[in-house]
Amino acid sequence: MTLYAGERTIRPPHAPTPCYKCPKVPDEYRRTEESAGRRVSYRDAIDPEEWHREVVERVAECHAVGSFPDGGWMRRWAAIVRPIILQAEQRNLRDLVSLLTVQATTQRRV
């Protein structure tokens, strides 16, 4: 099932899924996989969690007023989120949260 003009429709037989252009699959990952000859699938999508959205909103609010709390966690997230915000100024919020999710996942592994 896919959406067409806001309505659910059945995808024609043998039509590819839209995973090749899904904004939840990070661009860098997509390029790496495609250059290696592998297909990108829905399993490669990164679904942001609610706390990712909250962090992005909080950092954006703090940046808008020019004041960040002294807490260490906020400075840490601002250091991670701000460069991503700068890179993604032309992207919509869903793309921004996906980028944050990738960055957060990378930071947790370190």
| 38 and 87 within one domain | no
Maximal C-alpha separation, the chain: 56
| 56 and 67 within one domain | yes
Q: Which residues contact 62 (CB under 8 A, 6 or more apart)?
A: 68, 69, 74, 78
| 97 and 77 within one domain | yes
| 109 and 74 within one domain | yes
Q: Which of these, 61, 65, 56, lies nearest to 96 by C-alpha position?
A: 56
Q: Looking at residues 3-7, what average pLDDT do you find?
A: 57
Q: What is the pLDDT of residues 52-67, one digit of tens each?
A: 888 888 888 888 888 8
Number of domains the chain is built from: 2
| 32 and 64 within one domain | no
Q: How many CB atoms lie within 10 A of CB 9?
A: 10
Of 1-5, 25-29, 46-50, 85-89, where does mean pLDDT reach its minimum?
1-5
Band of residue 21 on the pLDDT scale cut at 50, 70, 90: low
Domain extent, residue 79, equals 47-110
| 55 and 39 within one domain | no
Predicted TM-score (pTM) of this structure: 0.42
* Contact (CB, 8 A) for 85 and 59: yes
Reply yes or no on whether the pLDDT at 33 is more than 60. yes
* Contact (CB, 8 A) for 26 and 48: no
